[in-house]
Every structure is written in C-alpha cells, then in structure tokens.
Structure 1
Amino acid sequence: MKKQTSSSKKIIAIFALFLAAFTWGSAFCVLKDTLENVSPIWLLAFRFLLAGIIMTLVCIPRMKKMSIRTLKRGIIMGIVLYFEFLFFTVGLQYTTSSKSSFIIGSYVAILPLIYWVIRGKKPQRADILAALVCIVGLGFILLGSFDGVNKGDLISLLSAVCYAIHIVVTGIFAREEDGFLLNMLQIGTGGILGLVAAIILEPHPAAMSGMNIGSIAYLAVFCTVVPYLLSVFGQKYVKTSTSGVILSFESVFGCILSILILGEHPGVRFVIGAMLMMCSFLIVEKIFLPLPKRVAVEAEK
C-alpha cells in the first residue's frame, strides 16, 4: 500500500513538473511585448518583488514552521535563482534569443556533472544518455544557423550552470523543508537582489501602461509563484535527472504557444526536436526497459 501511494505521488509530481514547464513556456509570449517598454532588469525586480509579496501573504499561517535551516536554504536557492535570471538577461543583450534559449537549455547536459559534484553520486548511464538526447532535441528546436561564439553566449552559459545548480539544491532541500516557505524565501531573496541591481544599474522606469502592469502581474503569479511551487513539490518526489529533463520542456511549450498565440509556423526541426525530447524523458524514466527490470533498477536507488 505504501509503495502504491509513493507511485501515485510520483505521477502527480511528474504532472506538476510538466505543468511548471508549461507555465514557464507561456512567459515567452508575454515577455516579447513587455520588454519593449520595461527594461529587463527592472522587469525582473518587479516580477520577483510582486511574487515575493504574494508568497509571503500565502505563507503567513506557515511562519511558525520557519527555522534557521529553512531560512538559510531558501536564501541560497534565491541567490542562485536570481543570478540564473540575471546572466540570462545580460547575455540576451549580446546574442540571439534562439541561441540564448539553447545554451541555457544545455543545463540538461550539465546537470549530471553538477549533481555528481554536489551530491557525490555518479550519474547513471541512462541519465547521461537522456541528457545528451534532450540537448540534441533542443538544438533542433532552437538553433537555425550557428554563427560562432560571442560574449553573450558565454554569459548565457553561466545562466545554464546556475539553472543546473538550482535544480540540484532544490531537489535536496525540497525533501526536507516546507515547499511553500522555501518558495517564499527564494522568490523574496530574488526580489530584494533584483531591486538592488535595478537601482544600481538602470534608470528609474517611465510610467507603465495598464497592459504592462497586467503582464508583470501575469509573470509574477503564473510564471513565478505557481511554477516554482509546482517544481518544488515535484522535485520532492522525482529524481533530479528526471526533473531536469521535464523542466526543459519549457522550450517545447514556449514554441507551441508561440505557434498558437503569435501565429508562428512550426517546421520539421521543431517536430524532430520535440520527439527527441520526449524520447529523453522515456530514457531517463527507463520506460524502454521491461517492467521487472525497471522495478529492479528503481529498487537499487
């Protein structure tokens, strides 16, 4: 009975991670218009501050569970999270959107190494194979032509490293802490860092339209509060390698929504890439193995 309950939680957790990837993917359509009127660094500050305020209000009944350990872990997650977004924002100013998305998506390939360094556990061959298949799939989706490496690409690579670190530490902390409190602390930390960075690096933004305010509210709630709650919950019951592959579907969902909402047309590369990424999920979950062998492998973890 306990095993059945654990299996049910894993299925729900996998669904939560896919839903988190979907909501993050929806941000691409919203960001495209908002960034024309609001600078990227101020947009990050507004997004995380509003999300942090919302999470604080939600977590008031849970504050009694707060401990020094939870506080430290939430702040660590928030620092890594903010630098992930900061490197992404700065890098995007010097490279193309598709190259930036691909390079940041390469965190899937970096993830097994980061996991090994932080956890001291050598990744399984299936995890490495899944990461490689996933990155090839991302390449098909996001890269048209490759025109060399510039400083924007290297800065974007730092974002990918931060992304991988964030997934690993979230996987560790989520199993031992209250997910709501962790999410409040990491988003709040990101908001404070974002505000400081915006004040130092950018002039004060001009008056914003109602559309811009609505977009920021959408980004704060549906692209920050909701997906990070889902991802923290999902990583509580799903192994790190699987979480990394599922969350990379953000690019797939972003492309699909661009097709549906912005009228962009899919190509053969998108179809091939999406199929390869789905294969990477099947590989990391060992769906291709016979059921008895799959159960045996899971039991060895």
Structure 2
Amino acid sequence: MKKKSVLADFSLLMVAFVWGSTFAVIKDVLSEAQPLNMMGIRFILATIILSIMFHKKLKKTTKEAFKGGVIIGLFLFVAMATQTIGLLYTTASKQAFLTGTNVVMVPFLVWMLHKKRPDSYSFIGAFLAIIGIGFLTLDGSFSFSTFNKGDVLTLICAVFFACHIISIGYFAKDYDPVVLSIVQFGVTGILFSVAAMFFESFTLNVGPAVMKAIIYLALAGTAFAYTVQNVAQKYTSSSHAAIILCLESVFGSLLAVVLLGEVLTMKMLIGCVIIFVGIIITETKLEFIKKKNMDISL
C-alpha cells in the first residue's frame, strides 16, 4: 500500500505539471476563443476519446457509479464556470491566489464531512501552500477593500474545486476511476455547451491555433490529467492530494516564464520554495528530523 501511495503522489505531481502548462496554452489563445465554447468542446472531445478507449468499462457502468460521476461533474462545472465568469471582473493574479485557497478548505471540509481531523502536518502544509501561492501570484494589488463580484465568484469556485477533490476521494474508493472520469467529462461538457448557446455564439468553427489548444486541453489537460487524478485518489487522502495539486501554481508560473517570456522574480522564487517546504512537511511529516534526533540521542 505504501508503494501505491508513493506512486499516487508522483501521479498527482504529473497532473499538477500538466494543469500548470494549461495556463500558458489558454492565455495564448484566449483572445481568439470564446471561453465557454472552448470548454464545451474540450470536455466533449475528452468524453468521446475516453469512451472509445474504454467502451468495455463503460458498458459495465452501474447506476451508483454513474451518479458518482454526475456529482463530480457538477462540482467541476460550477467550479470552472464561476472561475471563467469571475475572471471577467477580477485580475488573473488575484484569481490565481483565491482559487488556490481550496488547498486550505479541503482539510476543513474533510473534517466536517467525515468527523476525522487531518493531522497537524496537513494543516501546516496547507497554510504554507497558500502563503506560497500568494507570493507567486499577488502583485500588491490585493485588498479586501477592493473585493468585487469577480472575487466572490472566484471564492465560490475555490469551494467547488475543494468539493471536487473531496468527491473524487469519496467515489474513487468504490467505483472505477475511468468510468467516473468519462461521466464527469460528459456532464461538464454538456453543461458548458448549453451555457455557450445561451451566453456565446456556440460554434465549431474555430481557428487552427484554438483547435490545437483545445486538442491539447482535451487530451492532456482533461482526459489524461483528470483520469490520473481519479485513479491516484484511490490511494491517498483528499487533503494530501490538494496540497500536491497546488504545485499547479508553481508549474504554471515557471512555464509562463519559459513559454510566454514572463519575468521570473525573486518573489516568485520565494513562493515556490515555501510551497515545496509545505509539501515536504506534509509528505515526510518531518520523520527525517525525528530520526536524526533519535540517532544523536543514542
């Protein structure tokens, strides 16, 4: 089980890297794409691809597994929809920070739902992660006096992302993670497509750059990343997963420097270090220090 837990953590690290890369991909084409339209195509394409690949698993889907996938999909849709709409009214840096607060919410929500208090290392890691995300994303413009409806929507988005992580942890223990992925993508894709019809001119007529971005988002950022997350969370806790996934902010910032030519500042480097320290504390529970102290005392 320990080996599976380590593999699960490494898999979540890969997911965080892929999600971090999607920031640069989306930012690069956002001026040409309609957000809801792009999201709808992204998730429907991922649903089709996984349905073809795993059609045998899909045929064996139980009513309970289908319900679980629908619930996960609803959480994902609300989280991503409020995030997308919220970005119209707030800055990208402030939204990145507020969305990242889900890493602190997860341990408390788990505690409320399961009446099981996460260990102190999880809390320390979560709070260090949120401080690190603040260093990475905030540019000095954050102020509660300037809190607007975009910020409120983003906080709602953070709550639903936290619920999404917890719901995966709950359902992935009992049902096939691949089936859960296909159903949640289908639900999310349909809801985004319906929303696009109401709020945008829903169309499949997109340019080559946008189509390339959608294919990458569908294959890597959705079909691969979310499915791996579902499988990995069978073998680790929701609080643990949330802290590792917050590395998305680190990878997103570093890849923006490499791919988009953004400037790497000392503040960003400090943020990366703080997040890594938080993850090391959560992962190791400082056993290496305890062991060293025991060796010295002996």
TM-score, scaled relative to structure 2: 0.93
User: Which one-letter code corresponds to 1:9 in the other structure?
Assistant: K
CA distance in 1, matches of 2:184, 2:114: 21
For the residues of structure 1 that align with 2:285 and 2:157, how far apart are their CA atoms?
Answer: 31
Instruction: Give 2:48's aligned amino acid.
Output: I
SS in 1 for 2:110: helix
Aligned to 2:155: 157
Residue 65 of structure 1: how far off its partner (Å): 2.8
- Distance of aligned partners of 1:204 and 1:62 in 2 relative to their CA distance in 1, 3 Å threshold: closer
| Change in CA separation of 1:257 and 1:75 when aligned onto 2, cut-off 3 Å | same
Per-residue CA deviation, residues 21-48 of structure 1 (Å, 9 max, x unaligned), is 1111110111012211111111111111
Q: CA deviation at 1:118?
A: 2.2
Post-superposition offset of 1:291: 8.4
Larger deviation, residues 25-34 vs 117-126 = 117-126
Give the Cα–Cα distance (whole angstroms) in 2 for the partners of residues 35 and 167 of structure 1: 26
Runs of 4+ in 1 over 4 A off after TM superposition: 290-293
Distance 2:50 2:155 in 1: 30
Q: What CA distance in whole angstroms lies between the structure 1 residues aligned with 2:55 and 2:248?
A: 31
Measured in 2, the distance between the counterparts of 1:212 and 1:290 equals 48
Which of 63, 80, 84 lines up with 1:85 in the alignment?
80
1 CA distance for matches of 2:266 and 2:290?
Answer: 37
CA-to-aligned-CA distance 1:93-127 (integer Å, 9 cap, x gap): 00000110110001011111211222222222221
Unaligned runs of 5+ in 2: 292-298
State the 1:154 CA deviation: 0.7
Q: Which residue of 1 aligns with 2:121?
A: 126
1:59 Cα offset (Å): 1.8
Q: In terms of mean alpha carbon deviation, does 195-204 or 249-258 score higher? A: 195-204
Q: Residues of 2 paired with 1:102 and 1:182: CA distance?
A: 29
Write the letter of the residue equivalent to 2:229: S
Give the SS at the match of 2:96.
helix
Listed as ranges, the matches of 1:101-140 within 5 Å are 101-140=96-135
The percent of aligned pairs where both chains have the same amino acid is: 35
Inter-partner Cα distance in structure 1 for 2:122 and 2:204: 47
Contact 1:39/1:205 (CA < 8 Å) preserved in 2? no
Count of matched residue positions in the alignment of Structure 1 and Structure 2: 288
SS of equivalent residue, structure 2 residue 287: coil
Q: Does 1:271 align with 2:266?
A: no
SS at match of 1:237: coil
Question: Where does residue 295 of structure 2 map in the other structure?
Answer: none
The answer (yes or no) to whether the contact 2:121–2:285 under 8 Å persists in 1 is: no
- Provide the TM-score with structure 1 as the length reference: 0.92
Please tell me whether the aligned partners of residues 41 and 194 of structure 1 are also in contact (alpha carbons under 8 angstroms). Answer: yes
Q: Name 1:53's counterpart in structure 2.
A: 48
Amino acid at match of 1:49: I
Q: Is the 8 A contact 1:59 1:184 kept in 2?
A: no
CA distance in 1 between counterparts of 2:258 and 2:271 reads 18
Separation (CA, whole Å) in 1 of partners of 2:282 and 2:155:
23
| Amino acid paired to 2:273 | M
Q: Residue in 2 aligned with 1:204?
A: 202
Query: Corresponding residue for 1:297?
Result: none
Q: Aligned-residue CA RMSD in angstroms?
A: 1.5
